[in-house]
Structure 1
């Protein structure tokens, strides 16, 4: 199979010569298939663990191993991407995920099943970093937010479709059919990823070219990346950690508060689903606003809306008022985090040389926030009350809005903010 033609990474690419539609299949197709694959198995993992003899807490831990695998492998993912390039990292992530799912299918041992889930999480880290790094290079800065918001939106659409396809497969062929569907989807993502055009390496930055007779400058490392970009990590990086904590917590506050109000599970599911629908509908318009008006126009309102909705949620008394708060949370998440805000800010501040290392640290900070947010909510709900935990999460959203407003540059790449 011949290699696809290289894509120029020049940031001066004329807007008139670029179209997101032209790269839609190779760039967004793997995300859709990867999302379908993961969405197909996620609802089935705890059920399979229970069938293999796990207790309820152990089944929850096995499910958590997917997220833990992603968290622990952000830095190794950056090394893989720097070593092999974005295209082959995407291919390797699809293949590794397929192997992990295959292990889940063909083992009857709970420990090996847990290992397969951890492998799926590892592949998440590699795939998410490689796709972000690729799009950050391949797309002109004038289209960056739209491209990254579409990338994240397509992945979420895939994860929305996956459980429905898996439900049909499980109904006709049994529980393991969900994993077979997942294997087919992620293997398809790897095959399609192999057709992604290679990136042309940018020239060395001014002043870094080696003088005649001297060795070339050292390649960026994780340590040098942390040192050179510590100011960004200690400012916007902290904001990203807060944003991710709020985003992860939102998935728990809606069903938990619905249960507190003694709503029927079907009603709680409907409210949660409607909030998710709003989230998926607004990712592209929000990305366009970020490109045309600036990152602040979306990032700050997103956190303010989510913060206000969470502060008001403990005041809701029934399904109607909870639905209003949930829709506000979904809208706030959709225009911000759901529109690729974290990925876009990471791409804006990442260096062209050593981009994968920067994004590896960036994604690690995001995943730390996503892990700590629900843990903080659980601690506060247990020690104080659920209402207090939700209110504190809303306060974190306001804190994130303040940090974002202060540290997002007024001048965004490609236009005046």
Structure 2
């Protein structure tokens, strides 16, 4: 869709489709209709996220790319942080549907903004040796660019798995310690606050020193934090581990999108970024599944340490395969 329609139209259509899905949650209380709405929002999210990444990769010069991607990731974190508070305020006035109205309003705003951004310059399609236009396919992109997908892409799989697991390990270990829900929420919130504060400096380091100077420390810090978390015996020690985890995740803001943009070809960028996104989504699915399986069969601590091991593996992959030179 992004390759065929262009980034601006894809983002606008995705926001409109998600708004329709959100509207189903407001106007219909049947479980089946609600499930369709959730599916629509998930579909739209995939299109919107890929299109906005492709747009920035084209619109921003390479020397500012990491800062742009980190800022994008940081702004998304701010939205995730503010959204629940805005929804809670409206819910206190009109009930649970208030959360859906807040979501619908945000999606309409995103649609309007997407509609008003300028179109990118249309690139001429690649041509074969005989002068005919060469068709770009996902299979062709995967065949011609398998190396970054199989090397750096595997590191992306690891960081996505760790990040997805990170969202559940803090409340799970808080419950394991017998902490109440308010304390667990406070610890999670402070971890998220640290996460939001460091995205721009991290992008600046990536632009000036190279991607590896952020990717490797990000994974190492999260590995250390996850390794220490099962050793936490109370709220204070869990808070310290959670804040360290937030710091590691925060300095990696935008790293997946930046690496994807760096390795994407000039022709076929949306198709390549779609495959890149597939690697990340695979990690998002695999991380919590591994954590749950080990927690169920062995213990929660073993599951968390396994995720820490994935983080260490990601650090090794990034350290070995990410080029040391800055993209130009």
Cα deviation for residue 235 of structure 1 reads: 0.7
Cα deviation for residue 343 of structure 1 reads: 0.3
Deviations 1:75-122 (A, max 9, x none): xxxxx0001000000100110011101122222321111000110011
Gapped regions of structure 2 (runs ≥ 5): none
Partner of 2:325: 411
Gapped regions of structure 1 (runs ≥ 5): 1-79
Partner of 2:163: 247
Q: Distance in 2 between matches of 1:284 and 1:300?
A: 17
Partner of 2:146: 230
Q: Report the TM-score when normalising by structure 2.
A: 0.97
1:155 correspondence with 2:76: yes
1:374 correspondence with 2:288: yes
Partner of 2:218: 302
Partner of 1:171: 92
Partner of 2:277: 363
Deviations 1:60-79 (A, max 9, x none): xxxxxxxxxxxxxxxxxxxx
1:264 correspondence with 2:180: yes
Cα deviation for residue 195 of structure 1 reads: 1.1
Q: Distance in 2 between matches of 1:391 and 1:408?
A: 25
Q: Report the TM-score when normalising by structure 1.
A: 0.77
Q: Distance in 2 between matches of 1:188 and 1:313?
A: 39
Q: Distance in 2 between matches of 1:217 and 1:227?
A: 19
1:119 alignment partner, one of 40, 54, 68: 40
Q: Distance in 2 between matches of 1:203 and 1:307?
A: 44
1:332 correspondence with 2:253: no
Q: Distance in 2 between matches of 1:110 and 1:405?
A: 46
Partner of 1:94: 15
Cα deviation for residue 175 of structure 1 reads: 1.6
Q: Distance in 2 between matches of 1:327 and 1:196?
A: 36
Cα deviation for residue 202 of structure 1 reads: 3.5
Asked whether the equivalents of residues 219 and 354 of structure 1 are also in contact (C-alpha less than 8 Å), the reply is no
Q: Distance in 1 between matches of 2:247 and 2:67?
A: 17
Cα deviation for residue 203 of structure 1 reads: 4.9
**Equivalences, count:** 328
Range with greater deviation from structure 2 (324-333 or 310-319)? 310-319
2:316 alignment partner, one of 390, 396, 402: 402
Asked whether the equivalents of residues 295 and 301 of structure 2 are also in contact (C-alpha less than 8 Å), the reply is yes
1:385 correspondence with 2:278: no
Alignment RMSD, CA only? 1.3
Q: Distance in 2 between matches of 1:113 and 1:322?
A: 36
Deviations 1:123-155 (A, max 9, x none): 100100000000000000000000011111112
Cα deviation for residue 329 of structure 1 reads: 0.5
Q: Distance in 2 between matches of 1:407 and 1:104?
A: 44
Deviations 1:177-207 (A, max 9, x none): 2212221221111111111111113456xxx
1:343 correspondence with 2:257: yes
Partner of 2:205: 289
Asked whether the equivalents of residues 127 and 134 of structure 2 are also in contact (C-alpha less than 8 Å), the reply is no
2:137 alignment partner, one of 221, 224, 240: 221
Residues 1:229 and 1:333: Cα distance change in structure 2 (over 3 Å): same
- Structure (1/2) with the larger helix percentage: 2
Cα deviation for residue 264 of structure 1 reads: 2.1
Q: Distance in 2 between matches of 1:89 and 1:156?
A: 22
Asked whether the equivalents of residues 129 and 360 of structure 1 are also in contact (C-alpha less than 8 Å), the reply is yes
Residues 1:210 and 1:241: Cα distance change in structure 2 (over 3 Å): closer
Partner of 1:108: 29
